[in-house]
Amino acid sequence: MNVLVVGSGGREHAICYCAAKSEKTDKLYCTPGNAGIAEFAECVPIGAMEFDKIAAFAKEKEIDLVIVGMDDPLVGGLVDELEAAGVRTFGPRKNAAILEGSKAFSKDLMKKYNIPTAAYENFTDPEKALHYLETAKFPIVLKADGLALGKGVLICNNLEEAREGVKTIMLDKKFGSAGNEMVIEEFITGREVSVLSFVDGDTIKTMTSAQDHKRAGDGDTGLNTGGMGTFSPSPFYTKEVDEFCEKYIYQATVDAMKAEGRPFKGVIFFGLMLTEEGPKVLEYNARFGDPEAQVVLPRMKNDLIEVVEACIDGTLDQVDLQFEDNAAVCVVLASEGYPVSYEKGVPIHGLEEFDKHEGYYCFHAGTKLEGDQLVTSGGRVLGITAKGADLKEARANAYAAAEWVQFDNKYMRHDIGKAIDEA
């Protein structure tokens, strides 16, 4: 098969790694891809939002399967466009990707179908939002409705901060049209777990659990980022938690989408919080997590292409989804100063070590080639993943491998997976 992956980050590198491993894949393309993906796939400089060009390319190269990795093209309707052109595509259509594309939609869905989530109200009028906040309990959470690169969530400790938050989201439009509508949500506490799943419209099969570290600094301090590291599985995702989620969250979400006339095919990412009252859904995403994919996919035993095809064909119930009985940790190597401002174009060395070691992966996120020299080209540069018999071993391995890599303004958190010591 000719397979095309759409996206350019560490997540797409992990997807491409699995796609390349599949016996079904003859030729692998990635649009636009990155320097790491280019080592084993043909990268084509077409942007993920250039739908016409992607469709034309898929026809020209006789692509048998497209896997869309990123949220923006999914929410924008790339799957619909490719299907209309007769190209077989993995990912939700636009009317289902709204599960991630609109937080107001997903909150209303959960309320209607009794799926556990934090209490909330939706607002399109900033005056009404401000009025509501007068009598609200703090802290409180403000969320821009639409996609905001994971940055549209503000936790406000008092009325003053919340007023400022409404201004930021709805009046100053810091997150653009994502702030035309806003969710005001009860602040809940507990451990966070990411559970990714494959869905074929009817059947859902969850993957092994993971946890992300979103803040830039050690001890969960500093600004929110796209994710500074992950580990899998989460020791806090116990059998009891899994049973609860199976009963009240996973299938309920898939059934709700079907009942709404929006059957979901693709990956649903459940962002869960394990509260004292039980697990609650913080957010849905309509794709693999980044950097969750970098710890979950290397542990998957199945052939990714076979699972993806089962989702498209509606035969996921026949798939026995299996993960290795081990653990993985991913430490993100970023450019010093991320997520605010940072230098690019810095030469990177040491990656040849990864070819010599089994169970170690270097997923590229913000890199490019200048001539023959690999250089940094983004805030998150590389995701260093290592496996181990258990989480402690995986963490030690990942941090050892992080030292193989050298570039001048290299920055990483030193406590990825530290929470496992408390488990």
Residue 12 within binding range of ligand GLY, rule CB under 6 A: no
Asked if 145 is part of the footprint of ligand GLY (rule: CB under 6 A), the reply reads no
CB of 27 to ligand AMP, least distance (A): 36
Among 20-28, 117-125, 289-297, 414-422, the segment contacting ligand GLY (CB under 6 A): 289-297
Which entry of ligand AMP, ligand GLY, none binds 81, CB below 5 to 8 A by partner kind? none
118 binds, among ligand AMP, ligand GLY, none (CB under 5 to 8 A by kind): ligand AMP
285 binds, among ligand GLY, ligand AMP, none (CB under 5 to 8 A by kind): ligand GLY
Place of tokens 């898939």: 254
- Quote the DSSP letter at residue 39: G
Single-letter code of the amino acid located at 366 = G
Tokens of 62: 């006789």
State the binding string over 274-313 for ligand AMP (x if CB under 6 A, else -): --------xx------------------------------
Q: Give which of 231, 142, 220, 155 is closest to 181, Cα–Cα.
A: 142
Confirm if 43 and 37 have CB atoms less than 8 A apart.
yes
Alpha-carbon separation of residue 163 from 3, 136, 154, 204, 224 (angstroms): 48, 12, 11, 40, 20
Measured on CA atoms in the order 58, 196, 234, 154, is the torsion positive or negative?
A: positive
**CB 229 → ligand GLY: shortest distance, Å?**
10
Cα separation, 178 vs 282, in Å, equals 18
Rounded to a whole number of angstroms, the minimum distance from the CB of residue 416 to ligand AMP is 16
Among 32, 126, 217, 271, binds ligand AMP (CB under 6 A): 271
Identify the residue among 212, 305, 380, 405 touching ligand GLY (CB under 6 A). Answer: 212
- Beta sheet of 65-68, edge-to-edge order: 42-43, 27-32, 2-7, 65-68, 89-90
Residues listed for the chain: 423
Give the end-to-end CA distance of the chain in Å, rounded to a whole number.
44
163 or 214: CB nearest ligand AMP: 214
Contacts with ligand AMP by CB under 6 A lie at: 118, 141, 150, 153, 155, 185-188, 192, 214, 271, 282-283
Residues that bind ligand GLY (CB under 6 A): 150, 212, 227, 285, 289-290, 292
